[in-house]
A and B are shown apart, each in its own frame.
Chain A
Amino acid sequence: MILRFLATVTLIPLLCFASPKFAKALDVNDLIFRGADYHYKGDLDHAIKQFREAVRIEPENEYAHNQLGILYAKKGRFKEAFLEFQKVVEIDHQNTYALLWLGILYLRENDLKRAFDKFQEIVRIDPNNADAYYFLGTIYNFRHNPAKAIEYLKKARDADSDEPDTHYRLARAFHNLDMTSNALLEYQKTLELKPNYTKAINGIGWIYYNQGRIDMAIKEWKKTLAINPRDRDAIFNLTKAYNDLAWKALREKDIKRAVFYWKETLAINPKNKAALYYLKRYKSR
């Protein structure tokens, strides 16, 4: 361990001296490294201090400006964050990281058009930018244009397949087009990367439910409740499933079974008005 530590420590100054303008770069590199370290450890104020000093010495340091942008955004100082990212884009229009954050800040401001334009600008500069494709696909998902969402989210997935959110949103787009095999596959990939992604579990539940495999759907939603007992989607989905089963049993004049399912409904959602009413009415029969 000690040897490894010494080895790492000796390398940092070597990397710093590798810069041609090392006298100036030494300070800036040191500030940036310390700033990044503070940032990752959650000490945002100290991180801001280091990066501000870095941009004072080197006003065109894109990384330091970008870090300041992120740090300001984390502090809720969104206007300052915006200015930092804009500054980076003025220094270098190809800085896709700053462009991406400008797009995200536009989304935060509910400015769909400008956000969309920023993300499109990024993919024009960098046709492999997974993040920009992700946001473009997600925007199309929100506009309920699944075919276009699939086109972009697939590009995001293929550029960087390790993001569970990309797989989940792609699954949603496929699901919206009733492409259940694809939806199932992407939900499963989401869960491979993040096993407690309850929205993906709930989505799988609906695929099974709409295929008539109600027991399997119930199992999925119960899995969600095992992860988060307060998951409202799973609670409401299960409530609906049990109420449907109860109603089906009642139509088949199997009151005992209907009563059983209403009890199941109330075990999940004790205030369910339908189950409360029908249980009271049929329990004694």
Chain B
Amino acid sequence: MKNSTDRRLFLNWIGWGILAGSALSFFPSLVWAKTAFDYALEGQGLIASKEYRKACKALQKAIHLDPTSDWAYGLLGRAYYGLGEKAKAVEAFRKAVRLNPADTYSRMMIEIITQKPVPRLEKKERPLAPLEQEAKAEEEAMLNRVRSTGSLTYQVNRIVIDAGHGGFDPGAVGPTGLKEKDVTLDLAWRLQRRLSDIGKIKSFLTRTQDYYIPLSDRTVIANQHQADLFISIHINANNNPKAHGSETYYCSEKASSKEAARVAAFENSVLKYDKPFKKKLGYIDIEEILFRFEQRMYWNESGRFARTFQKRFRTALPLKDRGVHSANFFVLRRAKMPSILLEIGFISNSDDEARLKRGKFREKIVDAVVKGLS
């Protein structure tokens, strides 16, 4: 009896074992779950048999289990590409490259697909953060007020007016004691008042009183206010008391004369900060191309403004036209906008000094500058 019971029990166990074994062979996932690798491998096989839709499903499961699998993302890109869903393919390939920058195939596929238009993927809307809400309200209010044109003409809406010298640095001093720093400050104030009356251009002064500001700080102020033009006002001087007239300087790659080059070399010798730019071989830096383009464009615009102002001075002021000069001034180069330096008259010339003392003459200078801006 005992033997027959044991045998039955034994057979029972065998039966259950066979049943479980067959179940496992047909449904292995009943005992151990598939890994990300298994799904990715399955996806790869499905891509090879061109069953792209099924491949996508398998690969998405792989990514769900292992979001760091660049391999699965690369395969997903291929599956989407097979389905003709280019935007999704690019997205998947980009993720693969982000996870593994050495993935040549995915990088290549991004470049091949994006050579031509790729439809855009729908973006999910999400609630705005407080700063985003504030920004949205600000944008709606501002952009309604600002009229934009598609014109590529350089636009001047805000300028920084720099009164040359100041404080312990009087600049040049005239035969009767007129100081350059006082004339430039007064001219700067007058120009700002005039621009404020006209109302089209917002202006900022680098100094409002009699104190010294280093040259470097002056262009920083122009950058601080995101100015469109930097005008530095100066009065010239010379050992020859007969020297007279007005001239305008601007920053350029090449000096317009030996004298301009000498002046720029002297200025540049003082400041040394960054290591000189070294061109990387085998590499194209788009931002560097843009930076150089921007710089050259500002220099060209500076030249255009310099010529305009000089023309205005020639016609509006009883001063000899000494022309426009340019050189690579390190400090002017720091300005992220066109910048010019006006030398209006010679304080060392007694006739010019007498004129510069008169309020009416100063108003004429301001007239010429304002016309130059219009």
Contacts and interface: CB of A to CB of B under 8 A. Distances in A.
Contact of B102 (A11, A40, A92, A274): A40
B211 A247 contact: yes
Given A97-B115, A128-B118, A181 B283 contact: no
A73 B282 contact: no
A86 interface: no
B199 interface: no
8 contacts: A3-B37, A14-B48, A95-B115, A126-B116, A128-B118, A144-B155, A144-B228, A233-B223
B61 interface: no
A11 B290 contact: no
B338 to A, nearest CB: 9
B296 interface: yes
Given A230-B275, A232-B334, A94 B213 contact: no
A58 interface: no
B154 A144 contact: yes
B240 interface: no
B284 interface: yes
A232 B44 contact: no
Contact of A145 (B71, B120, B148, B337): B148
Contact of A33 (B108, B148, B216, B275): B108
A181 B154 CA distance: 26
Given A139-B152, A142-B297, A277-B212, A107 B104 contact: no
A269 B216 CA distance: 11
B217 A271 contact: no
Interface residues of A, number: 88
B142 A98 contact: no
Contact of A177 (B146, B283, B284): B146
A235 B293 CA distance: 24
A213 B102 CA distance: 45
A253 interface: no
B286 interface: yes
B290 to A, nearest CB: 6
Given A138-B290, A235-B273, A63 B213 contact: no
Interface string A138-153: 1110111111101100
A196 interface: no
Contact of B214 (A112, A177, A247, A274): A274
A179 B138 contact: yes
Q: Is the contact region of chain A dominated by helix, strand, or loop, or is it mixed? A: helix
Interface stretch (B127-135, B320-328, B356-364): B127-135
A11 B47 contact: yes
A269 B48 CA distance: 64
Nearest to B132: A185
Contacts of B135: 179, 181-182, 184-185
Given A8-B71, A62-B115, 18 more contacts: A3-B41, A11-B78, A14-B47, A63-B112, A73-B284, A96-B117, A116-B152, A142-B297, A144-B228, A150-B143, A180-B138, A181-B134, A184-B131, A185-B131, A185-B132, A240-B217, A240-B221, A247-B211
Interface in A219-258: 230, 232-233, 235-237, 239-240, 243, 247
B267 interface: no
Interface string A1-36: 001100110111011000000000000000011001
B254 to A, nearest CB: 14
B27 to A, nearest CB: 23
Nearest to A273: B214
Contacts of B78: 11, 15
A76 B114 CA distance: 24
A190 to B, nearest CB: 13
A165 interface: yes
A36 B104 contact: yes
